[in-house]
Structure 1
Amino acid sequence: MWFKLASNPEVVESIYGDEIPILEGVLLHEMEFRLDGGSIILLRFGPSNYPSKPPAKWVSRGNNTASISLQLIDVSSTTLEGRGIVPQTFCDFSFKREDESLIFEIKADNIQAKVKFGYLYIDGITAYRGKVE
Structure 2
Amino acid sequence: MVHWFDLLVNAQAIKSIYKDEAPSLRGVDVHSLLLHRDGPKLSIKFNLNDYPSKPPKKWDVQGFNTVQVVLSLLDLRSVSISGWIDTVYVTDLDIGFKDDLVTLSIDSDRLKLTAEASFFDLESISAYAKG
TM-score normalised by L of structure 1 = 0.92
* SS across alignment from 1:49: coil
* SS across alignment from 2:6: helix
Tell me the distance in 2 between the aligned counterparts of 1:49 and 1:38.
30
How does 1:102-113 map onto structure 2 within 5 Å?
A: 102-113=102-113
Tell me the distance in 1 between the aligned counterparts of 2:17 and 2:72.
18
TM-score normalised by L of structure 2 = 0.93
Q: What's the C-alpha RMSD, in Å, of the aligned pairs?
A: 1.1
* SS across alignment from 1:19: coil
Q: Any conservation in 1 of the 2:68–2:125 contact (CA below 8 Å)?
A: yes
* SS across alignment from 2:109: coil
Tell me the alpha carbon deviations over residues 70-123 of structure 1, each in whole angstroms, 9 at most, x when there is no partner.
1110111111223x2522210100111101111100122201110011101111
Unaligned runs of 5+ in 2: none
Q: CA deviation at 1:68?
A: 0.8
Corresponding residue for 1:30?
A: 32
1:55 aligns with 2:39: no
Runs of 4+ in 1 over 3 A off after TM superposition: none
Unaligned runs of 5+ in 1: none
Q: CA deviation at 1:11?
A: 1.3
* SS across alignment from 2:21: coil
Letter in 2 for 1:74: D
Corresponding residue for 1:128?
A: 128
* SS across alignment from 1:21: coil
Corresponding residue for 1:97?
A: 97
Corresponding residue for 1:44?
A: 45
* Number of residue pairs aligned between Structure 1 and Structure 2: 129
